[in-house]
Chains A and B, each alone.
Chain A
């Protein structure tokens, strides 16, 4: 089974080696303190010349982080800006998912050879990205396995390929902080999504803001920063029943809440709150994660 998949993988992915000495080697990478000797690419090479934005974050995430990562991905995808990220679990993956949802282009930078794509569960995402005209880059030979040190090492390529680095959610020991350090060394602008100051998941990213990174308040700031005019936002009006409105209002106040808390606040029975939330879920207004109800988007 494993072998068959491997052979299939070899068939569908054709990689191209670009040596540092070659003219095709991207200028962005040549300029950094310790450029890779060569890169292996697959997909649309012209993306390397375009102005792009890197979005990273930790593997573990809150729903807030996930939503923001997807929002950023979608918006950048709509604006036609390629998004560079690590194709890792968590925030990296969500940013790319957002881009693909909006029909944009992704640039994935791997910590392993392209054929040995790690983590394997995101292989589908990578293939989808490639199908939609994206690009995957790695400094390792296609058949090389990932090792613990290869992931931090590829972070310098992530930060180098983007004009700006955006950090969505990062813990104290997140790899995203290494990317931030690299970006600082390379002289890139760093935007950080502010998180709750009591959230474990935003501890590292909030510290970056304290140390001088720009807090990301409006996503379009990113687009303006690299000199592109953001496209108009298409908004849709929706109608809700009175009960539904009460709950949406309450969720707007609380951010997120369990069904019990919502029942308590609105004075309804947990049974009817559950029923209303199901209808809102069908309408795509709320999502439930680990027992917490959140407004979608």
Chain B
């Protein structure tokens, strides 16, 4: 007997609807799966057999043919176990065929009949909703992320039998849902972190606030131990909350890279990625036979922090240029294009030289002129062009700080940043002045007569490049936003210029 179930697979970060068809005919008992199935899908035969029997159903005696359509899409992943099993059992009259037509089903089976959570559920759910499917069965472990999708009833199940009971309407769905309430989690990794942990470095803190407010790229240069990494690690504590769309975009990427189902909850904090400097091309940009997102995509809507940026492979870093402009990266595999978004804010930290003590007040730099030149070369160039703020930091000595010294904490800095973000929004700009297009600069970054004169003078006496000119304007816009000033004033430009980047670094 023939039956059909709707399911989905995931290609990159995009779900595709798949129809699973089974037909049981007379013949030697065997199961054949056709329709460009990968090895994982082929192996599902053994899991389905055991799971069916262990759930108390009779395994059909006959020749079972499973077809996955459309047949020209490569199907990978274990999410087709459950739909194939349900479809086969429908052919054996265990399931109400009329009711089954309303459902989309996703899930992996274990041998004892339990339904196990899988990766990439969220994009699959979206693709099913797009195809007007109103009720979607997902593994209980994937329920929190799947519940982010609106427009369909999401039903969590934990066993094969439960799944069939749901379809046959012998099971209370609300009861199931209550059992697996959506859990939303804030990143606990950075809990207890606060900017007040770092004494002094007020200038760096100010720069970070500006960077967060306008999503500007930032570079911190300083001797070892001056607090660069500590500061960077606290950036997540002052980042604004994500909007609904951003939460979903981020959840999709996390889902595809398997970061959601493991913990059974959804993270709604902006990502903060901190890859090690040994990272290669695939790790940073994404890749693989079935491409998975790399660090730049995992940092989508958040921050990518490159510590000791000079230790990274220069070639790998330079490959970030186009994705940074385009805010997305496309991988080609076997005739398919996989697109991953990567709208991230770049924060980098570096020592001033190879030994780390160039310009230090007390320790002697042991680098030769050649080593200094080589190190600076690494810092200059195309990536430095994408940086709007640069600060040079020095080690703070205990006795330089008095008790009345300023010591900004995360709360204060977050408020400052939010003030600017709200102001920008109220004036019709999206989050992130760093992303203002060059053609929009005259509109958003309008200058008065005296400011125009001031920046022209600076342009000449500080040897600015045309690119630096635009960067300064965007940065000045952010500083003015934080000041809640509609006009960019001279002091805003002057402050923006104090964070300017020079190609020969320092």
- Report which A residues bind B (CB closer than 8 A): 59-60, 89-90, 119, 198, 200, 258-261, 263-264, 269-279, 281-282, 284, 288-292
CB-CB < 8 A to B200: which residues of A?
260
Q: Is the CB of A290 within 8 A of B359?
A: yes
5 tightest A-B CB contacts, nearest first: A290-B359, A291-B392, A274-B498, A275-B494, A270-B203
Q: Is the CB of B203 within 8 A of A259?
A: yes
CB-CB < 8 A to B393: which residues of A?
291
What would 20 more interface pairs be, CB under 8 Å, given A60-B369, A274-B499? Answer: A89-B369, A260-B396, A261-B400, A263-B406, A264-B400, A264-B405, A271-B479, A274-B206, A275-B491, A275-B495, A278-B458, A278-B494, A278-B497, A278-B498, A281-B461, A290-B392, A290-B506, A291-B394, A291-B506, A292-B359
Q: Is the CB of A59 within 8 A of B359?
A: no
CB contact under 8 A between A291 and B495, given known A60-B365, A270-B206, A278-B458 = no
Q: Is the CB of B358 within 8 A of A276?
A: no
Look across to chain A and name the residue whose beta carbon is closest to the beta carbon of B202: A270
Q: Which of B203, B362, B462, B492 has the most CB of A within 10 A?
A: B203
Interchain Cβ contacts under 8 Å between A and B, 30 examples? A60-B365, A90-B369, A258-B203, A259-B203, A260-B394, A264-B401, A264-B402, A269-B206, A270-B206, A271-B206, A271-B479, A272-B495, A274-B498, A275-B494, A275-B495, A275-B498, A276-B494, A278-B498, A279-B494, A281-B462, A282-B457, A282-B462, A288-B392, A290-B358, A290-B359, A290-B392, A291-B222, A291-B391, A291-B392, A292-B361
Is B201 engaged at the interface, CB distance under 8 Å to the other chain?
Answer: yes
CB contact under 8 A between A274 and B495, given known A60-B365, A289-B506 = yes
CB-CB < 8 A to B364: which residues of A?
200
In the assembled complex, the CB of A253 is this many whole angstroms from the nearest CB of chain B, namely 15
Q: Which of B361, B401, B506 has the most CB of A within 10 A?
A: B361
Report the bound CA distance from A59 to B393 in whole Å: 24
Total number of B residues with any Cβ neighbor in A under 8 Å: 39
Report the bound CA distance from A291 to B357 in whole Å: 12
CB-CB < 8 A to A274: which residues of B?
203, 206, 494-495, 498-499
Look across to chain A and name the residue whose beta carbon is closest to the beta carbon of B497: A278
Report the bound CA distance from A89 to B461 in whole Å: 25
**Which of A200, A284, A292 meets B461, CB within 8 Å?**
A284
Is B221 engaged at the interface, CB distance under 8 Å to the other chain?
Answer: yes
Report the bound CA distance from A89 to B370 in whole Å: 11
In the assembled complex, the CB of A56 is this many whole angstroms from the nearest CB of chain B, namely 16
Report the bound CA distance from A290 to B359 in whole Å: 5
Is B117 engaged at the interface, CB distance under 8 Å to the other chain?
Answer: no
In the assembled complex, the CB of B311 is this many whole angstroms from the nearest CB of chain A, namely 20
Q: Which of B369, B402, B479 has the most CB of A within 10 A?
A: B369
Report the bound CA distance from A28 to B498 in whole Å: 51
Is B352 engaged at the interface, CB distance under 8 Å to the other chain?
Answer: yes
In the assembled complex, the CB of A140 is this many whole angstroms from the nearest CB of chain B, namely 22
CB-CB < 8 A to B369: which residues of A?
59-60, 89-90, 119
